[in-house]
Amino acid sequence: MPAPTTTLLIEGSFTELAEEFAQYLDTLRKNEGPSVQAEITPLLQPLREKEQADEEPDLKQRDEVLKKLVSAAAVLNTAPEKEITSAYNLLLHLIHQASDPDMFLSRLCTYLAKPIQSSPQFGPSLAISILTTIFNTLAPSDSSRYHVLLAIVAVIRQSSSAYAYEALKPQLTNQLPGWLTAWELEEEEARKLHLAVTEAAEAAGDSELAYEHLVLALQTVSAGEASRPESRELAIRALKSSLQNPTVFDFTPVTGSDAIQALRASDSTLFELLEIFTSDTLDVYEDFVAATPLATISGGVLADIATPLQTKIRLLTLASLAASTPSRSIPYASIATALRVPADEVEKWVIDTIRAGLVEGKLSQLRSEFLVHRATYRVFGEKQWAEVQGRLMVWRRSLESVLGVIRSERERFIRDGIQAAAAAAAAAEGKTGDKAKERRRNQNQQQNQQQTQTQTQQQQQQPPAELVVE
């Protein structure tokens, strides 16, 4: 598969290798027709003289030699299995010395896209290996890679090799968009590549990738090309694929195409059916089919997919019912009526719709209802915008109510905090005053005691009074 750039290392001058390759082609052709070696010998002589003189080669002369070699190279597909890869690598080395290798690579890819006769069993693997080498010897921005990739996809489709397809798929998914941008392809070339990938994916049973590239091919059709027969054919193919694909419920990529819009004039009933699947329900679909049988629409292209169509419209109807129910609770009876199914099949259809990703919710067997958590809007117009606006207003009022409660609680919390802080401060101040009074009382008592003790001591120190007798 395409990988980082590869370099071929082959020894020998251009004239020596070209002559050797011509001799090999003559051997494979078993002398049938004119000798390739004889045809290129006169062309090689002036090139050999320049090589011996170390002069710049005449690229136009080289191109003439390569034209004859590449024209006869179709016989390489009959070469022995062990020699095919080396023979093609030698030719690729010679082509890279041309003035414009691109003029020869597309033809080389055409040869490799055809069966390798000498190896029916391993021929596809050999061809893919050689084509991968060619792809990786080219610069990432080289538009010649387009022809190589186209050939690789063609070989994978013809061989139905699941291994080869799975090896290529990551490149198609991750790198192909970048390659297309770098190659700057015409719309027609890009369409051809997308259709080739679609066919390879269909052959491998990959309906998802096949549909993706079919839509990409459809989008390459310009408004000026939309009315062409081939554009109409592509549009009908894409429309049918979108309707029958069990994973496709969004038709916007299809309806936005100029080729699909052109069906309004060429295939009006088919386009009307697409509009029903885009926005309407089972009732409208059944009325349409009753008036216009599928077998009569656009040559009967939808006649073989009547059952998948009815299944899909039922799933879409349930999605519309879930999206349009204000209460978000749908009774089983309402679902059975809308889908026109027995009551005992309601849960099966709800589960299928959930698996399709159209709704999310919970089945309540006890209450016989479906509780919708999420529903997909099939069409988003003025009515849906009005509904969104209404829900946003309800949400806004709910948020305002919540914010009001939070604001009130916050104010109450602050108020209670201030009151609690004031009470604590008052209590603390009261305790401080009592302690001060007690301290002063104790000090007064101590002072009184000291004064009493001092007076007592003074009285004890005075001498006794003398008695005077007169």
Q: What is the CATH number of the domain that holds 344?
A: 1.10.10.10
Most distant pair of Cα atoms in the chain: their distance: 190
Task: Report whether 240 contacts 301 (CB < 8 A).
Answer: yes
Q: Quote the pTM value.
A: 0.76
Task: Report whether 124 contacts 158 (CB < 8 A).
Answer: yes
Q: What is the pLDDT of residues 323-349, one digit of tens each?
A: 888 888 999 999 999 999 999 999 999
21 in a domain, yes or no?
A: yes
99 in a domain, yes or no?
A: yes
395 in a domain, yes or no?
A: no
Name residues whose C-beta falls within 8 Å of residue 175's C-beta, 6 or more positions apart in sequence.
2
Q: What is the pLDDT of residues 95-114, one digit of tens each?
A: 999 999 988 998 999 999 99
Two tokens, residue 89: 């690598």
Name the band, by pLDDT with cuts 50, 70 and 90, for residue 126: very high
228 in a domain, yes or no?
A: no
Q: Which of 126, 147, 177 is the last residue of a domain?
A: 177
Task: Report whether 238 contacts 254 (CB < 8 A).
Answer: yes
3 in a domain, yes or no?
A: yes
Q: Residue 465's pLDDT is what?
A: 41
Q: Residue 132's pLDDT is what?
A: 93
Q: Which of 117, 151, 177 is the last residue of a domain?
A: 177
Question: Which amino acid is present at 450?
Answer: Q
240 in a domain, yes or no?
A: no
Name the band, by pLDDT with cuts 50, 70 and 90, for residue 468: very low
Q: CA–CA separation, 50 vs 61, rounded Å?
A: 11
Residue 354 has pLDDT above 80, yes or no: yes
Name the band, by pLDDT with cuts 50, 70 and 90, for residue 55: confident
Two tokens, residue 267: 């295939």
DSSP-derived pairing of the beta strands 329-331 and 369-375: antiparallel
Q: Which of 345, 375, 405 is the last residue of a domain?
A: 375
Task: Report whether 28 contacts 75 (CB < 8 A).
Answer: yes
In sequence order, the β-bridge partners of residue 331 are: 369
Q: Which domain holds residue 366?
A: 311-375
Q: Residue 162's pLDDT is what?
A: 87
53 in a domain, yes or no?
A: yes
Q: What is the pLDDT of residues 385-429, one digit of tens each?
A: 777 787 788 888 889 889 989 999 888 888 888 888 888 877 776
SS3 360: strand
367 in a domain, yes or no?
A: yes
Q: CA–CA separation, 168 vs 196, rounded Å?
A: 13
Q: CA–CA separation, 56 vs 42, rounded Å?
A: 19
Residue 138 has pLDDT above 60, yes or no: yes
How many domains does the structure of the chain reveal?
A: 2
Residue 466 has pLDDT above 60, yes or no: no
Q: CA–CA separation, 198 vs 217, rounded Å?
A: 9
**CB neighbours (10 Å) of residue 159?**
19
Q: How many residues does the chain have?
A: 470
